[in-house]
Amino acid sequence: MLKVYETSGNVLFEEKQKYPKWLNILIAGILLLTLVLILITGLAGPPEKRAEMWLGLAIAIPIEILVMILFWYMQLEKVVTSNGLYYRWKPWQKNYRYIDKENIQSFEVRRFRFISYGMGVVSWLWEIS
């Protein structure tokens, strides 16, 4: 596996996978709920403990904003060219990882039913029953 900056060869297939929008909304809702609970707990407590609450919020808010931004921008890019396979996780990997076509022994196209898309264990259990 090599690291390369650009793809080469004729592009045969290209795909970008991102987290679904509903998952981003769910994560944002959970993070917002956590902030609200910290705020309510801190304000309901004794006044001398409120300084600790503000310190906790000062630490938690930037971390939660960073997590939300990372989930929003994170994506897996895959490019199949006449030379081989290129892939990378954005924003973690700037360069593509490259697998030469001579190093790929075989491949197969898999078609999933709509209900099993992205749920390998669920589709496996569905086929057993």
Range of the domain at 52: 20-73
Does one domain contain both 66 and 91? Answer: no
Answer yes or no: do 65 and 27 share one domain.
yes
Q: Domain tally for the chain?
A: 2
pLDDT the model gives residue 113: 61
Q: What separation, in Å, do the N-terminal and C-terminal C-alpha atoms of the chain show? A: 39
Same domain (yes/no): 14, 24 = no
**Do 103 and 67 sit in the same domain of this protein?**
no
Q: What distance in Å separates the CA atoms of residue 44 and residue 40, rounded to the nearest whole number?
A: 6
Q: What does the pLDDT read at residue 129?
A: 43
What's the average pLDDT block by block, 10 residues per block, for the chain (129 residues)?
79 86 86 84 78 81 85 88 89 88 80 56 49
Instruction: Spell out the residues 6+ positions from residue 73 whose beta carbon is closer than 8 angstroms to its own.
Output: 90, 91
pLDDT of residue 1: 65
